[in-house]
Amino acid sequence: MKKGLLIIFSGPSGVGKGTVRKYIMDNYDLQLTYSISMTTRLPRDKEVDGVDYYFVSKEEFQKNIEEGNFLEYQEFVGNYYGTPKSKVEELRNKGKNVFLEIEVKGATEVMSKVNDDRVISFFLMPPSIDALEQRIRRRKTEDESVIQERLQKGESEMSCASNYDHVILNDDVARASQEIVDLIKKKIRS
Ligand code: 5GP
């Protein structure tokens, strides 16, 4: 059986990763499984434990680090985020295509650790920095210092976009998402 594809998806905070991700995950033909990360961040409105993230305490996260349970983990603006290792491997070995939405440093680590050719990576770019700021502010979930940190982080993340297989401009959600869907389909067939 062909090993499942590993899809790595990154982009700066506020670029609209969640909306694009939903569009891609809803594409039935692709049969994607979303890798649910573990985080120490508190849930935002409407986020559900075990669906959006596994929300855990710092102690629990630390325990998972010590037990070697992460494929990668990173600190991002004061919180920890990690990709559970066993799930990703288990699913890919069963031929399932796994979708990771992670930040740049974690993505780079995954790219170097997973060295089979069934990996495809995407970086989602905003049409402008202003568009990013507007989106982060509109969601009203972070205070000013966190907004500023996320914006700075976003700028440094964008400078790493060329490490990805494909840089996708999010000028229009449906168009950008479809571009990604088509590239994933092509990779699945290869
Ligand atoms: P947010 O707090 O906005 O949900 O996520 C902050 C950043 O962490 C986003 O760029 C998101 O893609 C990233 N992220 C989510 N889960 C993981 C993970 O398991 N590992 C890493 N390295 N980054 C993650």
**DSSP state, 14?**
T
pLDDT tens digits, residue range 63-79? 999 999 999 999 998 99
Q: Which atom of ligand 1 is nearest to the CA of 157?
A: 10
Across 104-125, average pLDDT = 94
Across 107-134, average pLDDT = 93
Ligand 1 neighbourhood includes 157 CB (under 6 angstroms): no
Q: Which atom of ligand 1 is nearest to the CA of 104?
A: 22
Ligand 1 neighbourhood includes 70 CB (under 6 angstroms): no
Ramachandran quadrant class, 21 (left: phi over 0; alpha: psi -120 to 50; beta: rest): alpha
pLDDT band at 2; cut points 50, 70, 90:
confident
pLDDT reading at 105 higher than 80: yes
For each of the domains in the chain, give its residue range(s) and CATH number, in order of start.
6-189 (3.40.50.300)
pLDDT reading at 5 higher than 80: yes
For residue 35, which of 80, 70, 61 has the smallest C-alpha distance? 70
Rg (CA), the chain: 16
In this structure, the residue with its CA closest to atom 7 of ligand 1 is 103
Across 85-100, average pLDDT = 94
The amino acid at 79: N
Residue-level pLDDT at 28: 87
